[in-house]
């Protein structure tokens, strides 16, 4: 009876084959796990299991290699785009992407990011934006909202002191080397499906040598925000998405 239920036509959902059984270290409600699942599904569907190299630098996703059974390279803080550039130029037939947090890509890695995108490197950069430094103690990040409280701006971010939030996707959309720039989220089932479609498009564009792609995924940080997972999603919708609205900022498929 059990084997009969397991027949292919009866399967509604199964774990992606590229996801390992290693328990994840992410906090409850963290968006990383959902994005990992989407990436695993897409790589398998594209038939790129043996020809994918992912780059992760310092941040919450530094141990991503434990969860996805693909080739990974570790980069110094902020330097993932430089390493991805080298890998893609050496192995142009491989799918190469970076997986970075906003504290990494928008801060110490801003220079690497902008120049790699502007050169039109045939890579995809995935930005997990939770508007905070999640791994190291909840400090203010370049993406932190005006008025948002963090461990290093306990009274809220003030533009006169800390400057304004930085939108990496807006900058990327203005660069000649980018072919696809989008901002998505994973807070609902519908949003997850849209994010998967966006990631698939970015991966396909990189394999078609159309230039650089940037997929920003607005995420929550329950621990850093000091909220429950459900409340974190509510706070994100009410406060973060008005500043960082979802949707495509640039899509030039005919490059």
CA 242 from chain centre, in angstroms, equals 19
Strand segments, DSSP code E, in 65-185 are 71-74, 95-101, 124-129, 178-185
User: What number is the average pLDDT over the span 226-239?
Assistant: 95
Query: Is the pLDDT score of 150 beyond 70?
Result: yes
pLDDT, greater one: 79 or 254: 79
* Listed residue (33, 41, 36) closest to 13, CA to CA: 41
Contact of 169 with 246, CB cutoff 8 Å: no
| pLDDT tens figures, 54-75 | 999 988 888 899 999 999 999 9
Task: Determine which of 133-142, 163-172, 178-187 has the lowest per-residue pLDDT on average.
Answer: 133-142
* Listed residue (31, 19, 21) closest to 68, CA to CA: 19
Average pLDDT of the chain to the nearest whole number: 93
Q: Which fold has domain 30-132+167-222+229-251?
A: Rossmann fold (3.40.50)
Q: How many CB atoms lie within 10 A of CB 90?
A: 10
- Which tokens is 111 given? 């220079």
**Percent of the chain's residues with pLDDT above 90:** 85
Contact of 96 with 121, CB cutoff 8 Å: no
Query: Is the pLDDT score of 254 beyond 80?
Result: no
pTM confidence score: 0.93
Residue 167: half-sphere exposure toward Cβ, Cα within 13 Å: 17
Q: What's the pLDDT score for residue 13?
A: 73
């Amino acid at each position: 009876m059990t084997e009969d239920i397991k027949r292919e036509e009866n399967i509604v959902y199964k774990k992606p084959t590229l996801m390992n059984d290693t328990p994840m270290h992410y906090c409850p409600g963290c968006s990383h796990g959902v994005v990992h699942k989407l990436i695993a599904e897409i790589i398998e569907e594209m038939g790129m299991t043996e020809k994918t190299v992912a780059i992760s630098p310092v941040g919450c996703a530094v141990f991503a290699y434990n969860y996805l059974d693909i080739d990974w390279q570790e980069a110094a803080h902020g330097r993932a785009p430089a390493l991805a550039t080298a890998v893609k130029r050496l192995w142009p037939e491989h799918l190469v992407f970076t997986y970075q947090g906003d504290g990494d890509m928008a801060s110490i890695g801003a220079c690497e990011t902008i120049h790699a995108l502007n050169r039109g490197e045939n890579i995809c950069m995935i930005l997990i934006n939770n508007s905070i430094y999640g791994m190291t103690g909840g400090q203010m990040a370049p993406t932190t909202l005006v008025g948002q409280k963090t461990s290093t701006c306990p009274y809220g971010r003030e533009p006169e002191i800390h400057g304004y939030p930085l939108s990496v996707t807006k900058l990327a959309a203005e660069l000649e080397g980018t072919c696809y720039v989008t901002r998505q989220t994973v807070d609902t089932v519908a949003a997850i499906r849209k994010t998967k479609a966006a990631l698939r498009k970015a991966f396909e564009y990189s394999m078609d040598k159309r230039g650089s792609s940037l997929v920003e995924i607005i995420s929550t940080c329950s621990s850093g925000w000091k909220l429950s997972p459900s409340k974190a999603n509510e706070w994100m919708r009410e406060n973060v998405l008005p500043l960082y609205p979802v949707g495509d900022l640039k899509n030039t498929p005919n490059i």
